[in-house]
């Protein structure tokens, strides 16, 4: 997605070096529609510069700092030397992430989505989460809840969440569910214990997944899963609950899985 407006002074922008002259470098801004900036030779690098081409090349992707914007003359002044290595690395990663999110938008809504529809949906994500990538990331972690403050309709939210959960990799996510276990048969507590051991995976949970089962209040038990991504976490949560239900039913008891905490009135 490219922005239709103008960058702000002090902003870091990603650009492709398009033309190199003795007096400076022209840069096409990758994040803005039809915007081009100029890096004066004095802003290419610190110290005296004999040949600009010793420092940059045509086609190079560069991170620049916006020094000044004059919309009336369509001029954007940029600096290359004012960007340190840490800023450059962070900005490039941010830009790459937004490109990923741009592709996810096509996966969610199809390549034929109208520009104005695309922009309207993207603006909702940007307004709430500051960027497309962050919007998809939060949708992967928190589901529909991450988009409840937007003006997106239910179908749009469902498409974003589904696409996010299939494509976004986050450091880890936490999901929680509950299972009610009752065993009025002769095996009683032993049957419950066996069901809880089954829920914990009997030592067969992958190393990258942390699964914990704890007592809430009879007959309810909490299952918490920490995993590298939502799909993995959700899968292990549901499988854990199903193992417990199957085990308790094998003793003649009953089990029921639910996502929300029960209250005493329910």
Q: Domain of 242: which CATH number?
A: 3.30.70.1130
For residue 83, how far is the Cα from the chain centroid?
26
40 and 56 housed in the same domain: yes
125 and 178 housed in the same domain: no
How many domains is the chain built from? 3
Say what the pLDDT of residue 40 is. Answer: 96
Q: How many whole angstroms separate alpha carbon 232 and alpha carbon 209?
A: 8
Say what the pLDDT of residue 263 is. Answer: 53
Report if residue 1 sits inside a domain: no
Quote the domain boundaries for residue 244: 173-258
Say what the pLDDT of residue 160 is. Answer: 96
Last residue of a domain, one of 30, 56, 83: 83
185 and 247 housed in the same domain: yes
* 72: DSSP letter: T
DSSP H helical ranges for the chain: 85-109, 115-129, 132-142, 154-167, 188-199, 230-250
Report if residue 6 sits inside a domain: no
Say what the pLDDT of residue 228 is. Answer: 81
Q: Which of 255, 256, 245 is nearest to 198 (CA)?
A: 245
Say what the pLDDT of residue 266 is. Answer: 46
Q: How many whole angstroms separate alpha carbon 46 and alpha carbon 21?
A: 18
254 and 178 housed in the same domain: yes
Report if residue 208 sits inside a domain: yes
Contact call for residues 219 and 245 (beta carbons, < 8 A): no
Give the three-state DSSP class for 235: helix
Q: Any idea what the CATH number is for the domain that residue 138 is in? A: 1.10.150
φ, ψ (nearest 5 deg) of residue 141: -80, -45
Q: ∠ CA(232), CA(234), CA(239), 5° rounding?
A: 95
**pTM for the model:** 0.65
Q: How many whole angstroms separate alpha carbon 199 and alpha carbon 183?
A: 16
Report if residue 4 sits inside a domain: no
Report if residue 68 sits inside a domain: yes
Q: How many whole angstroms separate alpha carbon 170 and alpha carbon 148?
A: 21
78 and 99 housed in the same domain: no
State the 10-residue block means of pLDDT for the chain, 266 residues long: 88 96 95 95 91 94 97 96 96 95 95 91 94 92 88 95 90 90 93 95 83 92 90 92 96 92 54
Report if residue 19 sits inside a domain: yes
Q: How many whole angstroms separate alpha carbon 246 and alpha carbon 50?
A: 77
Contact call for residues 209 and 255 (beta carbons, < 8 A): no
Q: Any idea what the CATH number is for the domain that residue 30 is in? A: 2.40.50.140
Q: What is the b/e burial string over 175-210, where b = at least 16 CB atoms within 10 angstroms of the residue's CB?
A: bebbbbbebeeebeeebbebbbebbbbeeebeeebe
Report if residue 5 sits inside a domain: no
């Amino acid at each position: 997605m490219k922005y239709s407006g103008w960058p702000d002074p002090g902003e870091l922008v990603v650009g492709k070096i398009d033309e190199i002259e003795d007096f400076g470098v022209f840069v096409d801004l990758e994040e803005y529609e039809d915007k081009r900036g100029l890096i004066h030779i004095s802003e290419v690098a610190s110290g005296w510069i004999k040949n600009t081409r010793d420092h940059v090349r045509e086609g190079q992707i560069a991170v620049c700092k916006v020094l000044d914007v004059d919309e009336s003359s369509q001029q954007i002044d940029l600096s290359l030397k004012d960007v340190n290595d840490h800023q450059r690395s962070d900005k490039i990663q941010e830009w790459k992430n937004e490109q990923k999110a741009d592709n996810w938008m096509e996966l969610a809504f199809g390549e034929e989505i109208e520009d104005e529809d695309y922009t309207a949906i993207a603006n909702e994500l940007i307004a709430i989460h500051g960027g497309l990538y962050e919007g998809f990331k939060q949708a992967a972690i928190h589901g529909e809840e991450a988009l409840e403050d937007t003006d997106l309709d239910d179908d749009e939210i469902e498409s974003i969440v589904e696409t996010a959960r299939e494509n976004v990799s986050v450091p880890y996510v936490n999901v929680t569910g509950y299972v009610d276990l009752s065993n009025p048969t002769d095996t009683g507590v032993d049957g419950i214990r066996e069901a809880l051991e089954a829920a914990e995976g009997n030592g067969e949970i992958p190393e990258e997944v942390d699964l914990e089962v704890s007592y809430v209040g009879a007959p309810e038990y909490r299952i918490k899963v920490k995993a590298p991504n939502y799909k993995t976490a959700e899968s292990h949560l549901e499988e854990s609950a199903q193992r417990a239900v199957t085990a308790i039913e094998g003793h003649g008891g009953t089990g029921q899985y639910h996502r929300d905490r029960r209250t005493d009135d329910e």
